[in-house]
């Protein structure tokens, strides 16, 4: 049997010999020849295309195989081009051909081509095929409306787990949670991938508590979680600060995997403990984790930054350099963030300038914004303004918000007014700028102007996103919004709060009496 030599020139010559020999039918090796071309330089792709064009007796199996090879190598435009050549040669595509090229159009984010291909499947009567349906469903759920995706799902004959999971993910992405839950319940069979789609989807759209509850339901149905499941649910627990549930998850992971903790779960645990303010356990997981990658280091650096521990972040960064691992843009952002929150302006400037001179491509608008935040937080408003004016691009609203935030901290009305005007010019409906400016006036003791700004917010009927807080009691997370009265124990909560306030006032009065008695 013919085997292609891994030497490109030899393979090319061998293939030419076989194709020129009419005694051999080359069809069974055509995909192998095309695949061999892909193993070498980009100039080989033209040879693979030429091979496709010059073979007069290609059948649908060989054609589909070559198209699939192009698609697997992420050459999606090439795959679609070969599909058109296939039609030109009067070769009738199968459901697998259509599925492959529709998938390529999705990855190219070309809805127009995808729709044309879907139209071809309807004309050929293959649109109800589950392979074609799943590919079309993925196309519409990612690039078009969920209604079009649902129609494709309904047209698919006997949709499989992939079809159901794709539509569920589309529903969650569009925040149609009831539809997602209904379809999830209607599934004839659910595998771990479907459960993962539900958990990650709810978590990514901000419904982290629901994501954790879905994981608990998954365990009740005796579905064995995999690494992706653990990573998703641990991140969800971190987002709501559920330290108790997170610890339980960590224990369950240890029970299932023992010391064989993979790097993805390990990274999620590092981030979890850091977000909950427990940097000691975060560092413990990091030190025990085998096969650490740049994400592991980034998680710990950002954890130190989030918790205002700039010195530790710098020490870890230097340790990362010594280990031989190259920092990426996230690492640099974490470092600047750490310096900003710890007031280490000199160190932050030093790292920023090093990167700007040695690897400027790593710097993105977020890094420049972090520098503005760092200068503003430290009260260096003039430098912050000059830094914004020297930016190599047009500053967005976030830069002026960073400056205004610093002005609020230091009660600097002059620069705060300047930043607020910039924000209002870019987005007149941005309520946060009005609130921060009002707070800056109030902190400076200019109550009348602060009241005027607040009145303007009401007159313009501007709505702010309410802040929230939460507390975990006995593994249950209780969330409270500003002026929230919906909690089932709200009467008891306010009664205890009044007792605490009264006790505080009594203690303050007692302290004053003791001071006078002295």
The position carrying tokens 């529903």 is 171
- Taking each continuous run of H as one helix and of E as one strand, the counts in the chain are 28, 2
Which residue from 419, 414, 378 is spatially nearest to 396, judged by alpha carbons?
A: 419
The pLDDT of residue 4 is: 42
> CA-CA distance, 201 to 232, in Å (whole number)?
9
The pLDDT of residue 397 is: 87
Distances (CA, A) of 355 to 339, 352, 375, 380: 15, 5, 18, 22
The pLDDT of residue 302 is: 95
H or E element in which residue 239 lies: helix 227-239
Q: 200 with 210: CB under 8 angstroms?
A: no
What DSSP designation does 489 have? T
- The total number of residues shown for the chain amounts to 518
For 351, the token pair is 């790292």
> CA-CA distance, 365 to 363, in Å (whole number)?
7
The residues, ordered by sequence, that sit 6+ positions from 291 with a Cβ below 8 Å of its Cβ are: 262, 263
Question: Three-state SS for 188?
Answer: coil
> CA-CA distance, 509 to 251, in Å (whole number)?
48
The residues, ordered by sequence, that sit 6+ positions from 427 with a Cβ below 8 Å of its Cβ are: 397, 433
> CA-CA distance, 177 to 173, in Å (whole number)?
9
The residues, ordered by sequence, that sit 6+ positions from 100 with a Cβ below 8 Å of its Cβ are: 64, 67, 68, 71, 79, 135
Would you state the torsion angle of the CA atoms of residues 289, 290, 294, 300, taken in this order, to the nearest 10 degrees?
10
Q: 114 with 91: CB under 8 angstroms?
A: no
| Count of CB atoms situated within 10 Å of the CB of 301 | 26
For 504, the token pair is 């505080």
Q: 30 with 51: CB under 8 angstroms?
A: yes
What DSSP designation does 156 have? S
Mean pLDDT by groups of 10 residues along the chain of 518 residues: 46 51 50 51 57 69 86 89 88 92 94 93 91 91 90 90 91 89 90 93 89 91 90 90 85 82 91 93 93 94 93 94 93 94 91 92 94 93 92 90 86 81 78 72 72 68 59 63 68 80 68 51
For 232, the token pair is 């998703």
For 21, the token pair is 């020999």
What DSSP designation does 363 have? -
The pLDDT of residue 8 is: 47
Which residue from 215, 225, 218, 265 is spatially nearest to 245, judged by alpha carbons?
A: 215
The pLDDT of residue 23 is: 46
């Amino acid at each position: 049997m013919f085997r292609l030599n891994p030497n490109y020139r030899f393979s090319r010559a061998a293939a030419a010999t076989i194709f020129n020999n009419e005694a051999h039918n080359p069809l069974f090796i055509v995909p192998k020849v095309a695949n061999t071309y892909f193993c070498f330089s980009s100039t080989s792709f033209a040879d693979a295309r030429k091979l496709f064009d010059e073979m007069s007796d290609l059948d649908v199996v060989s054609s589909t195989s070559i198209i699939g090879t192009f698609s697997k190598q992420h050459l999606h435009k090439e795959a679609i081009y070969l599909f058109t050549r296939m039609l030109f040669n009067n070769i009738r595509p199968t459901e697998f051909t259509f599925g492959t090229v529709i998938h390529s159009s999705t990855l190219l984010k070309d809805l127009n081509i995808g729709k044309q291909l879907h139209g071809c499947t309807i004309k050929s009567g293959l649109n109800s095929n589950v392979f074609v349906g799943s590919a079309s469903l993925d196309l519409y759920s990612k690039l078009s409306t969920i209604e079009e995706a649902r129609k494709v799902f309904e047209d698919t004959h006997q949709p499989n787990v992939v079809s159901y999971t794709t539509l569920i993910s589309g529903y969650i992405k569009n925040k149609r949670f009831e539809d997602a839950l209904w379809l999830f319940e209607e599934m004839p069979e659910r595998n771990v991938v479907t459960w993962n789609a539900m958990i990650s989807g709810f978590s990514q759209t901000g419904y982290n508590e629901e994501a954790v509850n879905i994981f608990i339901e998954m365990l009740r149905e005796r579905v064995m979680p995999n690494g992706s499941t653990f990573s998703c649910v641990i991140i969800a627990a971190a987002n709501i600060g559920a330290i108790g549930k997170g610890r339980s998850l960590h224990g369950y992971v240890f029970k299932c995997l023992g010391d064989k903790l993979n790097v993805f779960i390990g990274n999620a645990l590092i981030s979890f403990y850091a977000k909950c303010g427990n940097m000691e356990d975060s560092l413990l997981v990091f030190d025990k984790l085998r096969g650490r990658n740049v994400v592991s280091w980034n998680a710990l650096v950002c954890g130190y930054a989030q918790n205002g521990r700039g010195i530790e972040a710098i020490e870890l960064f230097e340790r990362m350099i010594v280990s031989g691992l190259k920092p990426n843009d996230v690492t640099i952002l974490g470092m600047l963030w750490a310096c900003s929150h710890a007031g280490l302006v000199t160190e932050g400037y030093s790292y920023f300038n090093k990167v700007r001179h040695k690897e400027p491509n790593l710097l993105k608008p977020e890094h420049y914004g972090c520098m503005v935040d760092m200068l503003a937080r430290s009260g260096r408003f003039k430098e912050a303004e000059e830094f914004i004016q020297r930016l190599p691009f047009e500053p967005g609203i976030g830069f002026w918000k960073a400056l205004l935030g610093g002005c609020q901290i230091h009660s600097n009305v002059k620069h705060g007014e300047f930043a607020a005007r910039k924000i209002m010019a870019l987005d007149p409906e941005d309520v946060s700028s009005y609130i921060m400016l009002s707070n800056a006036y109030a902190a400076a003791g200019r109550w009348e102007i602060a009241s005027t700004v607040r009145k303007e917010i009401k007159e313009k009927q501007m709505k702010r996103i309410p802040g929230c807080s939460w507390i975990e009691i006995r593994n249950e997370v209780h969330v409270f919004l500003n002026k929230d009265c919906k909690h089932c124990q709200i009467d008891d909560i306010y009664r205890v709060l009044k007792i605490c306030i009264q006790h505080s006032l009594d203690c303050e009065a007692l302290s004053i009496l003791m001071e006078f008695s002295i």
